[in-house]
């Protein structure tokens, strides 16, 4: 039986690969794929994800290597940053 952390890690990998590769490189998220992931998976945490300029800003911040796509490491950076930001809220409300 997997631990909670192992299950969370598996979920990150599964979610990323559910959206990556629908167009172009199968190991990266295009802008369109990133937008779809943000809307479907992080809609409650990122209320501005429907705004094109917000998606462009998130893409620019995440795309460390400047290739116009988000790889898994860049995606995990987003999730880790959101998790750190939400830590106080969740900790105080448990």
Q: Between these two residues, 72 and 86, which has the higher pLDDT value?
A: 72
Q: Whole-angstrom Cα distance, residue 13 to residue 91? A: 25
Instruction: Give the confidence band of 3 by pLDDT, cuts at 50, 70, 90.
Output: very high
The structural domains of the chain, with segments of one domain joined by +, span 29-92
∠ CA 78-82-83, nearest 5°, is 115
Q: What is the pTM of this model?
A: 0.80
Taking only the tens place, the pLDDT of each residue in 35-64 is: 899 889 887 766 654 556 777 787 788 888
**Across residues 54-80, what is the average pLDDT?**
85
Phi and psi of 58, rounded to 5°? -60, -45
Instruction: Give the confidence band of 26 by pLDDT, cuts at 50, 70, 90.
Output: very high
Instruction: Tell me which architecture the domain covering 29-92 has in CATH.
Output: Orthogonal Bundle (1.10)
Spatial contact of 57 and 35, defined as CB atoms under 8 Å apart: no
Query: How much helix, strand and coil, in percent to the nearest 5, is found in the chain?
Result: 65, 5, 35
């Amino acid at each position: 039986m997997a631990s909670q952390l192992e299950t969370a890690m598996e979920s990150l990998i599964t979610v990323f690969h559910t959206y990556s590769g629908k167009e172009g490189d199968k190991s990266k998220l295009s802008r369109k794929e990133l937008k779809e992931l943000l809307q479907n998976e992080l809609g409650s945490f990122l209320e501005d994800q429907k705004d094109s300029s917000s998606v462009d800003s998130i893409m620019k911040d995440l795309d460390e290597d400047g290739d116009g796509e988000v790889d898994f490491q860049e995606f995990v950076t987003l999730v880790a940053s959101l998790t750190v930001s939400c830590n106080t809220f969740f900790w105080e409300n448990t």
